[in-house]
């Protein structure tokens, strides 16, 4: 079994028991492993690059009209590419007008640090799919195969297998010999917490913002974090799983005022090059630990689920990734 993967998967916390059988979400984390054929060079943080090559391959496979831009295309609302990679916002919504909605996938690249993978080595990374995107797993796998066969990091690689990564085990759902996807569970049960104190360990830059500005460590509060978690989870559930929003955001925001916290967060600088805008774009954020105490119960499931959905801006690149630990009394 390939073991070249980032450490600290979600769900490692001991002592958790399901709250009720209805507390489930359609979400799954997959580990894709490739055998390198010609050397592949990955930058310090490969999330943006991997997302880019995946999108290019997916569009080449799925696009039927070959329009230069997606929105004018007559198939925009039903095309697998747009639904997966650039989800169209709804034309109307009872609460507000949306210019964009979260995409139902996240690319989780290998651990931070530039590396060259030599021929014969294994390159592994993770991808999270949410809601209806889970039904497109075969298309997702095929797109990754095409991407690495063409060129990733100036090299090529061949897919060997895909594993479902769960809190309990890693389960093979595809291998190159069988060339078919094995049936597997794609729902996550949200457990009840044993306590009320938690530590979030951020391994990739967290980018929370107010008034369109990314907040530095000294301006980060539980209100900003927890409401961002609630909003992202709610939008993913509504637009990609057909689960109606059930949070009272006014009550939830008010409850964050009584959450004591401490954190040791460092600013990490990172920039990505945007082919669309033809310029380098700063993606700075914070990494480190963030401890929350006396967390209201209605946030417990959100904190657990956030290990899969991530939090903050640019989550599709793998940013805002954390591991949750309960603080023992």
Tell me the backbone φ, ψ of residue 139, rounded to 5 degrees: -65, -40
Residue 96: pLDDT over 80:
no
Specify the pLDDT at position 14: 34
pLDDT value, residue 283? 87
More confident residue, 275 or 42: 42
Residue 2: pLDDT band with limits 50, 70, 90:
very low
Phi and psi dihedrals of 91, rounded to 5? Answer: -70, -35
53 touches 153 (CB < 8 A): no
Q: Which long-range contacts (CB under 8 A, 24 or more apart) does 134-141 make?
A: 134/26, 134/27, 134/28, 134/186, 136/80, 136/83, 136/84, 137/30, 137/173, 137/181, 138/181, 139/58, 139/61, 139/62, 139/80, 139/84, 140/58, 140/84, 140/105, 141/32, 141/174, 141/181
Structural domains present in the chain:
25-188 (no CATH), 192-326 (3.30.70.1900)
Overall pTM surpassing 0.85 (yes/no): yes
Task: List the single range of 46-50, 64-68, 286-290 with lowest mean pLDDT.
Answer: 64-68
Take residue 275 and report the two structure tokens written for it. 């082919």
Task: Categorize the per-residue pLDDT at 194 as very low, low, confident or very high, splitting at 50, 70 and 90.
Answer: low
**Quick check: 79 pLDDT over 50?**
yes
Torsion sign (Cα): 301, 32, 152, 44: positive
Output the pLDDT for position 286.
96
pLDDT confidence tier of residue 94, bands split at 50, 70 and 90: low
pLDDT value of position 30: 98
pLDDT tens for each residue of 248-298 = 788 888 999 889 999 999 999 888 777 666 777 788 999 999 999 999 988
pLDDT at 240: 93
Query: What pLDDT sits at residue 27?
Result: 97
pLDDT band at 193 (very low <50, low <70, confident <90, very high): low
Beta bridge partners of 281: 272
Residue with tokens 């603080």: 327
Tell me, what's the pLDDT at 10? 37
Greatest alpha-carbon pair distance for the chain in Å reads 60
pLDDT tens profile 290-327: 999 999 988 999 999 999 999 999 999 999 999 999 88
Q: How confident is the model at residue 77 (pLDDT cuts 50, 70, 90)?
A: confident
């Amino acid at each position: 079994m390939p073991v070249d993967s980032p450490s600290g998967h979600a769900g490692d916390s001991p002592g958790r028991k399901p709250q009720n059988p209805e507390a489930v979400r359609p979400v799954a984390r997959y580990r894709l492993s490739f055998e390198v054929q010609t050397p592949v060079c990955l930058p310090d943080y490969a999330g943006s690059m991997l997302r880019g090559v995946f999108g290019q391959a997916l569009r080449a496979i799925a696009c039927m009209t070959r329009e230069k831009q997606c929105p004018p295309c007559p198939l925009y609302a039903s095309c697998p590419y747009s639904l997966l990679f650039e989800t169209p916002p709804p034309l109307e919504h009872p609460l507000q007008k949306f210019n964009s909605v979260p995409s139902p996938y996240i690319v989780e690249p290998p651990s931070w640090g530039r590396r060259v993978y030599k021929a014969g080595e294994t390159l592994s990374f993770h991808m999270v799919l949410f809601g209806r995107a889970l039904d497109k797993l075969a298309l997702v796998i095929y797109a990754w195969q095409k991407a690495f066969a063409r060129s990733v990091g100036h090299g090529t690689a061949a897919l060997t297998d895909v594993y479902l990564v769960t809190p309990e085990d890693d389960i093979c759902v595809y291998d190159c010999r069988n060339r078919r996807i094995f049936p597997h569970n794609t729902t996550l049960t949200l457990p009840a917490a044993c306590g009320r104190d938690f530590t979030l360990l951020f391994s990739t830059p967290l980018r929370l913002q107010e008034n369109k500005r990314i907040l530095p460590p000294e301006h980060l509060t539980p209100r900003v974090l927890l409401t961002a978690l609630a909003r992202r989870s709610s939008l993913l559930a509504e637009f990609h799983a057909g689960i109606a929003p059930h949070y009272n955001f006014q009550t939830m925001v008010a409850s964050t005022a009584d959450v004591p916290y401490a954190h040791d967060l460092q600013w990490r600088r990172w920039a990505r090059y945007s082919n669309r805008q033809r310029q380098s774009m700063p993606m700075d954020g914070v990494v480190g630990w963030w401890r929350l105490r006396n967390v209201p119960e209605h946030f417990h499931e959100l904190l657990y689920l956030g290990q899969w959905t991530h939090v903050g801006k640019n989550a599709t690149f793998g940013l805002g990734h954390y591991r949750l630990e309960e603080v023992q009394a």
